Amino acid sequence: MADASGRDAVAAVWRIESARIVGALARYTGDFALAEDLAQEALAEALVSWPRDGVPREPAGWLLTVGRRRAIDAFRRRSARDERYATLAHQLGEGGAATGADPAGGAADPDDVLWDPDRIDDDVLALVFTSCHPVLSREARVALTLRVVGGLTSDEIARAFLVPTATVQARITRAKKTLAAARVPFAVPPADERAERLGSVLNVIYLIFTEGSTASSGDDLIRLDLAAEAQRLARVLARLVDDQPDVWGLVALLELTAARFPARTGPDGEPVLLEHQDRRRWDLTAIRRGRAALARAEGLGRGLGAYGLQAAIAECHAVAPSVPETDWERIVLLYEALGRLAPSPVVDLNRAVAVSMARGPAAALAIVDELEGSATLASSHLLPSVRGELLTRLGRPDEARRALELAVERCGNERERALLRRKIADLG
């Protein structure tokens, strides 16, 4: 087997198996940071051995066996200092002797004690909650989740976020130290913490998705892959936690948003606004999946959360044949509900746009004017951009021009700036 294809095979297996390998090792060692190190060591060993000897018949069992051996080594080293580790090393060693699994032999016993199918879901769920723990910075949560749950390498994460690999590695190292220092247990959080912790998990997945879907610069393909990875994580989560409206709401939001990806850029990569998108290019299967997930969220009967409300707004667009035929009144109501649940000037601004479609630009301008003092929007191009649009429709071209020029000044994305300049040119 050629080196490159051997490495590709390792990467592919790792994408599929990393979560349960890290999860199983974390459960057995009770030490998340150590488990991640061990899993990475097993991966490094596979990268040497598989291209040379071929991919083993049970690749996951092979990786787990190597990981466990490294765990025993680590515990033996530590046992000189601490009696507890000697016991652990002994217990783990017995497990290994019982199965007789041998990485060099290329196959591990599927009945391996670490490989308990009934525990996999719990392990992966504990892994998700630990990676997204609130003691970590947002950047650390994102990097750790992509690495241990998503099975991405530091290189891949670095490329996706346009930062040096060393930065990603440093974030992950630091995150593991933080978790250890805070004595975060490797477990699914107790019931009283669960809602809050789930919120953090959903937020991390959402951040990964938006990072992937707002391609402000860099390689578009890689960014889109990040969005797809977020969708995969959301589906994994929905399978593990299927009784929470917010989880299904997030799945729905990601599906319904991603459904529009094929239509949101033109032939030269320029952004195409919703109103000008060719709706035939929307992904109907993604819309179907998104609507099914939203129905599931609604069906739980506890109301929609912030993600579900945004998904419901996306659904209004998804089912509308055109911009004028969109149920804008419903969108206004959904934005009002969203604003009460998660007050934000950005939500108000979006509501203003919906109001302009439902009731005309004058009613919308009143909302926009109220947002003028908002600190959140002070340096954003969004407010003057919407304002310019409304003033244009109200037949006040001089004021519209001033607003749009301010928007150009504030906008960081070259493609969007071009769009704003076209609007200014259209004013004559």
Partner 1 sequence: MKYMLIMRATDEAYASMADVSMDEMIELMGRFQEEMLRAGVLLAAEGLEDPAETVVVDHGSEPPVVTDGPYGETKELFGGFYLLNVASREEAVEWAKRAPGTGPGFKTEIRRVSTIDEFPQDNPWIQKERAWREATGQL
Least separation in angstroms between CB 23 and partner 1 = 12
Pick 228 or 357: Cβ nearer partner 1? 228
Residues that bind partner 1 (CB under 8 A): 16, 120-121, 124, 225, 228, 231-236, 239, 242, 285, 288-289, 291-293, 295-296
Amino acid letter, residue 78 = R
Least separation in angstroms between CB 283 and partner 1 = 10
Least separation in angstroms between CB 210 and partner 1 = 19
Least separation in angstroms between CB 127 and partner 1 = 13
Identify which of 62, 168, 45 has the alpha carbon closest to the alpha carbon of residue 114: 62
Q: Which two tokens stand for residue 254?
A: 């990601």
Q: Which two tokens stand for residue 149?
A: 């749950």
Query: Within a 10 A sphere around the Cβ of 28, how many other Cβ atoms?
Result: 22
The answer to whether the CB of 367 falls within 8 A of the CB of 355 is yes
DSSP 260: T
Pick 235 or 396: Cβ nearer partner 1? 235
- CA-to-CA dists, residue 275 to 260, 320, 323, 324, 362, angstroms: 12, 11, 6, 9, 20
Least separation in angstroms between CB 359 and partner 1 = 33
What is the rounded CA–CA span in Å between residue 261 and residue 310?
Answer: 17
What is the rounded CA–CA span in Å between residue 215 and residue 413?
Answer: 9
Pick 291 or 410: Cβ nearer partner 1? 291
- Cα dihedral sign, 151-251-300-344: positive
Pick 294 or 338: Cβ nearer partner 1? 294
Least separation in angstroms between CB 328 and partner 1 = 25
Pick 61 or 388: Cβ nearer partner 1? 61
Question: Under DSSP, is residue 271 helix (H, G, I), strand (E, B) or coil?
Answer: strand
Cα–Cα–Cα angle for 176, 68, 177, nearest 5°?
10
Pick 287 or 411: Cβ nearer partner 1? 287
Q: Which two tokens stand for residue 234?
A: 């959301």
Pick 311 or 367: Cβ nearer partner 1? 311
Pick 13 or 140: Cβ nearer partner 1? 13
The answer to whether the CB of 71 falls within 8 A of the CB of 34 is yes
Least separation in angstroms between CB 121 and partner 1 = 8
Least separation in angstroms between CB 417 and partner 1 = 31
What is the rounded CA–CA span in Å between residue 254 and residue 386?
Answer: 25
Least separation in angstroms between CB 301 and partner 1 = 16
Least separation in angstroms between CB 12 and partner 1 = 12
Amino acid letter, residue 258 = A
3-state secondary structure 18-53: HHHHHHHHHHHHCCHHHHHHHHHHHHHHHHHHHHHH
- What does the CA dihedral 94, 99, 105, 110 come to, rounded to 10 degrees? -130
Pick 136 or 294: Cβ nearer partner 1? 294
Amino acid letter, residue 87 = T
Pick 128 or 332: Cβ nearer partner 1? 128
- CA-to-CA dists, residue 112 to 30, 101, 147, 250, angstroms: 18, 8, 25, 36
